[in-house]
Amino acid sequence: MLELRNITYEVDDNQENKEILKNVSVTIKDHFVAITGPNGGGKSTLAKMIAGIIRPTSGQILLDGEDITELDITERAKKGISFAFQQPVHFKGLTVKDMITIAAGREMSVGDICDILSEVGLCAREYIDREINSSLSGGELKRIEIAMIAARGTKLSIFDEPEAGIDLWSFSSLIKVFEKMRDEINGTILIISHQERILNIADRIIVIADGELRQVGSREEVLPQLLHTTSACQTLEEKL
Ligand SMILES: Nc1ncnc2c1ncn2[C@@H]1O[C@H](COP(=O)(O)OP(=O)(O)OP(=O)(O)O)[C@@H](O)[C@H]1O
Encode pLDDT of 126-180 as tens digits.
899 999 888 888 888 888 888 888 888 889 999 988 888 777 767 787 888 888 8
pLDDT at 14 over 70: yes
Residue 238 lies in a domain: no
Q: How far is CA 49 from CA 57, 68, 84, in A?
A: 10, 11, 13
Q: Looking at residue 117, which CATH number applies to its domain?
A: 3.40.50.300
Nearest CA to ligand 1 atom 4: 13
- 96 burial level (CB within 10 Å; 0-12, 13-18, 19+): buried
DSSP 82-115: EEE-SS----TT-BHHHHHHHHHTS---HHHHHH
pLDDT bin (cut points 50, 70, 90) of residue 16 is: confident
For the chain, the domain total comes to 1
Encode pLDDT of 63-103 as tens digits.
999 999 999 999 998 999 999 876 677 778 899 999 888 88
Residue 234 lies in a domain: no
Its domain, for residue 75, covers 2-228
**This prediction's pTM:** 0.87
* CB neighbour list of residue 138: distance below 8 Å, 6 or more residues apart: 87, 165
Question: 222 C-alpha to center of ligand 1: Å?
Answer: 23
pLDDT at 53 over 80: yes
Nearest CA to ligand 1 atom 24: 39
- 42 burial level (CB within 10 Å; 0-12, 13-18, 19+): buried
What confidence score (pLDDT) does residue 50 get? 96
Q: Give the position, in ligand 1's atom list, of the atom nearest the Cα of 208.
A: 21
What confidence score (pLDDT) does residue 232 get? 44
Query: Is 237 close to ligand 1, i.e. is its CB under 6 Å away?
Result: no
Residue 65 lies in a domain: yes
Q: How many CB atoms lie within 10 A of CB 119?
A: 20
pLDDT bin (cut points 50, 70, 90) of residue 233 is: very low
Q: How far is CA 147 from CA 10, 62, 74, 76, 85, in A?
A: 34, 27, 20, 20, 12
Residue 237 lies in a domain: no
Q: Give the position, in ligand 1's atom list, of the atom nearest the Cα of 194.
A: 25
Residue 235 lies in a domain: no
ipTM score assigned to the predicted complex? 0.96
Question: 92 C-alpha to center of ligand 1: Å?
Answer: 32
209 closest CA partner among 55, 3, 30, 35: 35
Contact 162, 193 (CB under 8 A): yes
Residue 185 lies in a domain: yes
- How far separated are the first and last CA of the chain, in Å rounded? 27
The CA distance from 96 to 123, in Å, is 12
Position 11, amino acid: V
Q: How far is CA 154 from CA 33, 104, 184, 222, 240, in A?
A: 15, 9, 12, 27, 29
Position 99, amino acid: M
Residue 240 lies in a domain: no
Residue 157 lies in a domain: yes
